């Protein structure tokens, strides 16, 4: 057993009252035994209960749950940070050419390792990830995640129209490949599968129907796609699906709106769409850096709360501009400021930990530091340079530390990332 002494913060309950439910230990103790968390509490009490545990003294640092990124694209790791496009031209000019390279299995395996390294160095221990249309790209990502026993939710992208021929599958092949991937990876180790039609315009009715059949056959798989990100996209959907009531209704028609369905963006939603998302217990992935970078729009967190719709934060790399979830909250804060309803630091922390875990029905495993949960956690150094040392006082409250690091910080704030009770990343000392 190992006992970590540090300041500790997490949400231990199943409710959404983040202001009341956060648990903070200024001098805390976290005990892990193998892959799981054994105990948590004030250090003095924990040390007394576990006198034989190996102590890791991290006084002055914070231990937090591993972060959850609820929407991102592993093939776009290498296409991040290109100038000057909005959604549809971004796909045509950057995304699709990059994804064509994943027909090469060795390329997919190499990028999978780079991708996971970017996640862990930024403190992310779980991702909901789009791969490419190539079945082997999904295999490569699951294999790489399994090597470090990382909780990975991923799926093969399905597209049978309106994309380059090199990236097209068919309704039949998408269904067959997805079913094979489910049988191979879903609930095997810490892997889960997500049915992944890229977005409505790139799937025919036949392909969406095929995905819906799998969703009904495999009740606990995830579903991930895009929804109402861009006004031109929404107009395109209306032309392609004239007999549906809304963009969300396209997916709903094929049984793809339900619990564990995660829709990226959801910027422009009608009252009926908000109501339906709430009824279905579905989730919106709020991707503020991507929404700002592509000029897509400003997510409406106020409406999400009013309609009791699950929201989780996400980077949306590579249209998103960072793998860092703290920075992602910083942009969420700015978006919400423009809407005159700023997201407070504790809510931001909740949306990337316990809130996301609850939305995805994984809070018995991730998102918190409860006894019995997997030992996925990060060690945060709040004063990693001159500016943060000046800004963040020794007696600063957790919400102040979290906010300052979100605005001023980057991966340098992540001292260590632990996954399944093993340290998978340690920050290198400055040369």
**320 and 244 both lie in a single domain:** yes
Residue 184 pLDDT greater than 70, yes or no: yes
**415 and 317 both lie in a single domain:** no
Residue 161 pLDDT greater than 60, yes or no: yes
Domain boundaries, position 412: 2-66+368-426
In angstroms, rounded to a whole number, what is the distance separating the alpha carbons of residues 270 and 164?
32
**71 and 121 both lie in a single domain:** yes
**346 and 382 both lie in a single domain:** no
Query: Is residue 407 a part of any domain in this protein?
Result: yes
* Distance, CA of 32 to chain centre: 24
pTM of the model: 0.97
In the chain, the percentage of residues whose pLDDT exceeds 70 is 99
In angstroms, rounded to a whole number, what is the distance separating the alpha carbons of residues 403 and 332?
12
Please identify, among 359, 378, 402, the residue that sits at the C-terminal boundary of a domain: 359
Q: For residue 171, name the pLDDT band (cuts at 50, 70, 90).
A: very high
CATH of the domain at 244: 3.20.20.140
In angstroms, rounded to a whole number, what is the distance separating the alpha carbons of residues 187 and 182?
9
Instruction: Write out pLDDT tens, residues 43-53.
Output: 999 999 999 99
Residue 429 pLDDT greater than 70, yes or no: no
Per-residue pLDDT at 4: 98
Q: For residue 431, name the pLDDT band (cuts at 50, 70, 90).
A: very low
In angstroms, rounded to a whole number, what is the distance separating the alpha carbons of residues 283 and 16?
14
Per-residue pLDDT at 78: 87
In angstroms, rounded to a whole number, what is the distance separating the alpha carbons of residues 198 and 158?
6
In the chain, the percentage of residues whose pLDDT exceeds 90 is 91
Residue 88 pLDDT greater than 80, yes or no: no
Per-residue pLDDT at 430: 60
Residue 109 pLDDT greater than 50, yes or no: yes
Q: How much is the mean pLDDT over the chain?
A: 96
Query: Is residue 279 a part of any domain in this protein?
Result: yes
Please identify, among 359, 392, 418, the residue that sits at the C-terminal boundary of a domain: 359
Query: Is residue 431 a part of any domain in this protein?
Result: no
In angstroms, rounded to a whole number, what is the distance separating the alpha carbons of residues 110 and 140?
9
Please identify, among 326, 359, 392, the residue that sits at the C-terminal boundary of a domain: 359
Per-residue pLDDT at 20: 73
**339 and 236 both lie in a single domain:** yes
**45 and 164 both lie in a single domain:** no
**100 and 144 both lie in a single domain:** yes
**209 and 167 both lie in a single domain:** yes
Residue 93 pLDDT greater than 90, yes or no: no
**292 and 171 both lie in a single domain:** yes
Instruction: Write out pLDDT tens, residues 338-373.
Output: 999 999 999 999 999 999 999 999 999 999 999 999
The total of other beta-carbon atoms located within 10 Å of residue 410's CB is 16
Give the total number of structural domains in the chain: 2
In angstroms, rounded to a whole number, what is the distance separating the alpha carbons of residues 210 and 357?
28
Residue with tokens 């709106």: 257
Per-residue pLDDT at 64: 98
Instruction: Write out pLDDT tens, residues 206-219.
Output: 999 999 999 999 99
Query: Is residue 247 a part of any domain in this protein?
Result: yes
The SS3 call for residue 59 is strand
**85 and 226 both lie in a single domain:** yes
Tokens of 397: 């409250």
**135 and 51 both lie in a single domain:** no
Q: For residue 13, name the pLDDT band (cuts at 50, 70, 90).
A: confident
CATH of the domain at 383: 2.30.40.10
The SS3 call for residue 334 is helix
**62 and 74 both lie in a single domain:** no
What is the average per-residue pLDDT within 162-174? 96
* Distance, CA of 29 to chain centre: 27
């Amino acid at each position: 057993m190992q006992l970590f002494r540090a300041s500790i913060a997490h949400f231990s309950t199943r409710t959404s009252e983040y202001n009341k439910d956060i648990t903070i230990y200024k001098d805390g103790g976290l005990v892990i035994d193998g892959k799981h968390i054994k105990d948590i509490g004030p250090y003095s009490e924990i040390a007394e209960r576990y006198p034989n545990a190996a102590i890791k003294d991290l006084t002055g640092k914070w231990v937090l749950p591993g972060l959850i990124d609820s929407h991102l694209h592993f093939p776009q790791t290498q296409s991040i940070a290109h100038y000057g496009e909005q959604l549809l031209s971004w796909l045509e000019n950057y995304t699709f050419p990059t994804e064509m390279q994943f027909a090469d299995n060795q390329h997919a395996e190499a990028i999978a390792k780079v991708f996971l390294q970017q996640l862990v160095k930024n403190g992310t221990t779980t991702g909901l990830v789009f791969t490419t249309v190539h079945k082997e790209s999904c295999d490569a990502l699951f294999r790489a995640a399994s090597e470090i026993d990382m909780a990975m939710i991923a799926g093969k992208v399905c597209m049978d129209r309106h994309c380059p021929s090199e990236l097209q599958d068919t309704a039949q092949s998408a269904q067959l490949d997805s079913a094979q991937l489910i049988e191979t990876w879903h609930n095997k180790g810490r892997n889960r599968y997500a049915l992944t039609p890229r977005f409505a315009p790139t799937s025919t009715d036949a392909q969406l129907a095929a995905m819906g059949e799998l969703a009904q056959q495999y009740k606990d798989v995830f579903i991930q796609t895009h929804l109402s990100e861009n006004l031109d996209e929404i107009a395109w959907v209306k032309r392609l699906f004239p007999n549906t009531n809304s963009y969300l209704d396209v997916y709903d028609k094929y049984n793809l709106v339900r619990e564990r369905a995660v829709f990226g963006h959801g910027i422009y939603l009608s009252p009926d769409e908000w109501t339906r998302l709430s009824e279905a217990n579905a989730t919106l992935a709020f991707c503020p850096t991507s929404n700002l970078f592509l000029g897509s729009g400003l997510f409406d967190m106020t409406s999400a709360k009013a309609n009791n719709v699950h929201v989780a934060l996400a980077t949306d790399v590579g249209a998103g501009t960072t793998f860092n979830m703290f920075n992602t909250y910083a942009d969420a804060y700015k978006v919400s400021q423009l809407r005159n309803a700023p997201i407070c630091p504790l809510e931001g922390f909740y949306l990337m930990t316990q809130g996301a875990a609850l939305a995805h029905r994984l809070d018995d495993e991730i998102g918190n530091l409860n006894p019995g949960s997997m030992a996925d956690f990060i060690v945060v150094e709040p004063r990693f340079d001159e500016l943060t040392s000046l800004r963040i006082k020794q007696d600063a409250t957790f919400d102040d530390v979290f906010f300052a690091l979100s605005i001023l910080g980057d991966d340098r704030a992540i001292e260590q990332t632990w996954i399944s009770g093993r340290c998978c990343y340690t920050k290198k000392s400055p040369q």
